[in-house]
A and B are shown apart, each in its own frame.
Chain A
Amino acid sequence: MGVLRLEPNLLRITFSVEETLEIHVGIAEYRVARSPQCLLTLGLGSCVGVVLYDPVLRVGGLAHVMLPDSKQFRVGGKPAKFADLGVEFLARDLQRAGCSVGRMMAKLAGGAQMFFGNVRASQMAVGERNVEAVRSVLHEMRIPIVAEDVGGTTGRTISLDTTDGRLTVRTLGRAIRVI
């Protein structure tokens, strides 16, 4: 009997150890997390960090997209590299976690123009085109964008707190912003 009573406790301890509070989302990757976890992505330049959040379940997702459109390329590898596929896969995984698209809110950060000098046209446009592509996919899915910190000329590190959906944006040499 003693052994039987101990087992559920042991299972619970193992489970809580596996639940990291801060989850790192790599370049061209996407992850879903629930309260009280945080989703973090470092060094967004022309890349865009797309956050989808369900305030009722307090479940959120973060995708780190690099390029606007998968249709221009032979697709292979990581879907979150592209704005169109990344947002779609992120929304799908949130739905699998029980979220409804109708409750989802989006926040965007990134899409900067990092280099200055005689910038080539293609390079000039990547950040801007990424932001436009994400906006258009979200519009099609009828997910409202409730906050943005996009464009500009600086890199960003962002962190989503899934307890309340707040997105913290850090840049080098500037004050931290919360959107």
Chain B
Amino acid sequence: MKISHAKIDVLQEIGNIGLGNAATSLAHLLQARVDIKVPRAMFLGLEEAIELIGGLEKPVICVNLHVGGEISSTILYLFEQSDACALVDLLMGRPVGTTTGMDEMGYSAVMEIGNILTGSFIGAIATMTGLRLVPSVPVLAHDMLGALFAASVAASGYTEDQVLCIQTSFTGSQVNDGVDSHFIMLPEVESLDRLFTALGLSVDDGC
């Protein structure tokens, strides 16, 4: 499995455009400023990817969506509990700090945010490439990062030792409390050729 540096750059740029769109939606929804870091696309071992995000046993809330259609991919949004609570408060228009623990209501609010972000993310990519992309209904879990990441990778059918991962974090600057989250996209490598072709890049010239 090989992807040239040029193609990694293209994936990063696509991540940038899609996430820019997603961050704008989130900012509108929360009536707050939302910043994103420049996404990085990389091939990583599973454990390297997990270490990068926070370690195998770190408790996180994870929204998992599958994107089907002409490119298959798994998208994960990861929040720490305190950040998810702040996000729920922002969404409900309450002062940050009102919500202190996650319940059914909180989880479905976080899932809905995952839906909205993914919708605008793939909307931008679909417009740019003309490809048909279909998001699935999100699923959620609140547990150890390692358990959730490995389960997501296993369920997506990845069998390589290394995963292609487009990763970034969102930061919201609402009053004095920010909301941090990680975005992870795990594209199915076999379907990337369709993406590169749609963008006018030749598949096999190693560009």
- Which residues of A are at the interface with B, using a C-beta cutoff of 8 A? 26-28, 42-47, 66-67, 73-74, 76-78, 81, 112, 114-120, 122-123, 126-127, 153-157, 172
A-B contact pairs, 26 of them (CB 8 A): A27-B46, A27-B47, A27-B146, A28-B46, A28-B161, A42-B57, A42-B144, A43-B147, A44-B150, A45-B146, A45-B150, A45-B151, A46-B151, A46-B154, A47-B151, A77-B159, A115-B152, A117-B137, A118-B138, A122-B155, A123-B139, A127-B151, A154-B143, A155-B144, A155-B146, A155-B147
The total of interchain contacts (Cβ-Cβ below 8 angstroms) comes to: 108
Partner of A43, one of B57, B152, B154, B155: B57
CB nearest neighbor in B for A127: B151
CB nearest neighbor in A for B47: A26
Structural contact, B138 and A43, CB atoms closer than 8 A: no
Structural contact, A114 and B148, CB atoms closer than 8 A: yes
Q: Which residues of B contact A155 (CB under 8 A)?
A: 143-144, 146-148
Structural contact, B143 and A45, CB atoms closer than 8 A: yes
- Which residues of B are at the interface with A, using a C-beta cutoff of 8 A? 46-47, 50, 56-57, 59, 62, 64, 66, 111, 136-141, 143-148, 150-155, 157, 159-161
Kindly state the separation between the CA atoms of A162 and B84 in the bound complex, as whole angstroms. Answer: 40
Kindly state the separation between the CA atoms of A154 and B142 in the bound complex, as whole angstroms. Answer: 9
Q: Which residues of A contact B144 (CB under 8 A)?
A: 42-43, 45, 155, 157, 172
Closest CB-CB distance, A29 to chain B, in whole Å? 9
Closest CB-CB distance, B4 to chain A, in whole Å? 21
Kindly state the separation between the CA atoms of A66 and B140 in the bound complex, as whole angstroms. Answer: 20
Q: Which residues of A contact B59 (CB under 8 A)?
A: 172
Structural contact, A43 and B139, CB atoms closer than 8 A: no
Kindly state the separation between the CA atoms of A115 and B155 in the bound complex, as whole angstroms. Answer: 11
Q: Which residues of A contact B155 (CB under 8 A)?
A: 46, 120, 122-123, 126
Structural contact, B56 and A46, CB atoms closer than 8 A: no
Structural contact, A117 and B138, CB atoms closer than 8 A: yes
Kindly state the separation between the CA atoms of A123 and B150 in the bound complex, as whole angstroms. Answer: 12
Structural contact, B148 and A42, CB atoms closer than 8 A: no
Kindly state the separation between the CA atoms of A53 and B89 in the bound complex, as whole angstroms. Answer: 50
- Given A42-B56, A117-B111, A122-B155; A77-B160 close (CB under 8 Å): yes
- Given A44-B147, A120-B136; A66-B57 close (CB under 8 Å): no
Q: Which residues of A contact B151 (CB under 8 A)?
A: 45-47, 112, 114-115, 123, 126-127
Partner of B147, one of A67, A73, A114: A114
Which 3 pairs of residues, A with B, have the shortest CB-CB distance? A43-B146, A155-B147, A45-B147
Kindly state the separation between the CA atoms of A126 and B146 in the bound complex, as whole angstroms. Answer: 16
Q: Which residues of B contact A116 (CB under 8 A)?
A: 139-141
Structural contact, B146 and A81, CB atoms closer than 8 A: no
CB nearest neighbor in B for A75: B159
Closest CB-CB distance, A15 to chain B, in whole Å? 28
Structural contact, A43 and B161, CB atoms closer than 8 A: no
Closest CB-CB distance, A126 to chain B, in whole Å? 5
Structural contact, A112 and B139, CB atoms closer than 8 A: no
Closest CB-CB distance, B115 to chain A, in whole Å? 11
Kindly state the separation between the CA atoms of A134 and B64 in the bound complex, as whole angstroms. Answer: 26
Closest CB-CB distance, A158 to chain B, in whole Å? 12
Closest CB-CB distance, A46 to chain B, in whole Å? 4
Kindly state the separation between the CA atoms of A72 and B54 in the bound complex, as whole angstroms. Answer: 32
CB nearest neighbor in B for A64: B150
Q: Which residues of A contact B57 (CB under 8 A)?
A: 42-43, 157
Structural contact, A47 and B47, CB atoms closer than 8 A: no
Closest CB-CB distance, A161 to chain B, in whole Å? 19
